[in-house]
Structure 1
Amino acid sequence: MIKIISIAALALTMASCASVENILNSPSDTPSVTKTMTATNAEKGLITMQSHHSVQETADKLAAIIESKGMKVFARVDHQKNAQGVDLTLRPTQVIMFGNPKAGTPLMNCEQSVAIDLPQKILISEDADKKVWLSYNDPQYLKTRHNIKGCDTVIDNISKALNGVSTAAVAK
């Protein structure tokens, strides 16, 4: 039952970032990384970056980086493979679920409802133009969604960690 709910939530996340329309370059980006966000994604609290690698390569690189930082990869869902298993087609789409209780527990102690959005999830998908995108929930969005108060340092640390592993995974 938990797997079905998680897969449904991931499918909704995947559907929300199916297209990327506006490219925003921020001064904090490395030259090899282009940050992107659509109006729809901004409303849904997603941060999206273009990858310079295939979905598989990006996901493999991301998983290795996550583990090298002392976090645990709890699950890796290959939606394309699952679709093929029921004779359906889907462009390459993977989700990596990961975390660290040292980061998540203090956040849940601030507002326990945030547990519905943990562990962290990062989506890597290929669009119709064969561009690869990496997306994750913006911790500031989670702060607002769950009305988290008094945990700005925790939110900032999680934001930095997500940005760091994501930027490293999509870079050349």
Structure 2
Amino acid sequence: MFAGYKRLILMVVLSLPLSVMAAEGMVTIKSNYSTEATADKLEAVLEEKGMTVMNRINHAEGAKKAGLELRSTEVVIFGNPKVGTPLMQCAQSVAIDLPQKALIWEDSEGVVWLGYNDPEYLKQRHDIEGCDEVIEKVKGALENFAKAATE
């Protein structure tokens, strides 16, 4: 009986698009919009909330210029020293993961996703201790930005 459940779970996991199984430490949210519209919405909400959008990279456009094909893939780089500095004060090595980045991509099924680094993963990666309030603040902000861009 247990083997039957195990086999069923394995079949379900293997039938999921690869993009649903996010990379370690990455939070992914399905978007109701195209890649471009999701990135546009994200930029707008970030600016509205006082974040600085430092760059927007269209990887599919770069691939096209190189004579290659890539499904729609964009990265939005953003931050705010009032948020990032306290995190770096907790563990300066986290600066390698800042400013924040959001990846927006279309998977092989035509579904658009928004992903970002999970602050809990950054906490583990950089052995951040005693800064739970800062981590929670960053976590809440990222969740809100992602929700506003994808719903």
Alpha-carbon shift at residue 56 of structure 1 (Å): 0.3
Higher Cα radius of gyration: 2
Is residue 20 from structure 1 mapped to residue 19 from structure 2 by the alignment? Answer: yes
Match of 2:57 among 60, 77, 85: 77
1:28-75 Cα offsets, whole Å, 9 max, x none, are xxxxxxxxxx2x53xx11100100000000000000000000000011
Report whether the alignment pairs 1:104 with 2:103: no
Equivalence for 1:144: 124
Larger relative contact order, structure 1 or 2 (CA cutoff 8 Å, min sep 6)? 2
Root-mean-square deviation (CA, aligned residues, Å) is 1.1
Following superposition, the deviation at residue 87 of structure 1 comes to 0.5
1:114 to 69, 73, 94: 94
Aligned residue pairs total: 135
Q: Which runs of 5+ in 1 are unaligned?
A: 1-17, 22-37
| Structural mapping, 1:125-140, within 5 Å | 125-140=105-120
- In the TM superposition, residue 163 of structure 1 has moved relative to its aligned partner by 0.1
Shift of 1:19: 2.0
TM-score, normalized by length of structure 2?
0.87
CA distance in 2, matches of 1:158, 1:48: 16
- 2:56 is equivalent to residue 57 of structure 1: no
Instruction: List structure 1 segments (4+ residues) > 4 angstroms apart after TM superposition.
Output: none
**SS of residue paired to 2:89:** helix
Give structure 2 stretches of 5+ with no counterpart.
1-16
- Which whole-Å CA distance do the structure 1 matches of 2:99 and 2:19 have between them? 25
- CA distance in structure 2 between the aligned counterparts of 1:104 and 1:97, rounded to whole angstroms: 13
How far does the alpha carbon of each residue in 1:11-36 deviate from its partner, in whole angstroms, 9 at most, with x for none?
xxxxxxx8234xxxxxxxxxxxxxxx
What's the TM-score once normalised by structure 1's chain length? 0.76
Task: Give the drift of 1:150.
Answer: 1.1
Aligned residue number for residue 68 of structure 2: 88
Percent identity between the two aligned chains: 52
* Cα separation, 1, equivalents of 2:25 and 2:88: 19
User: What amino acid sits opposite 1:60 in the alignment?
Assistant: D
Question: Higher helix proportion, which one?
Answer: 2
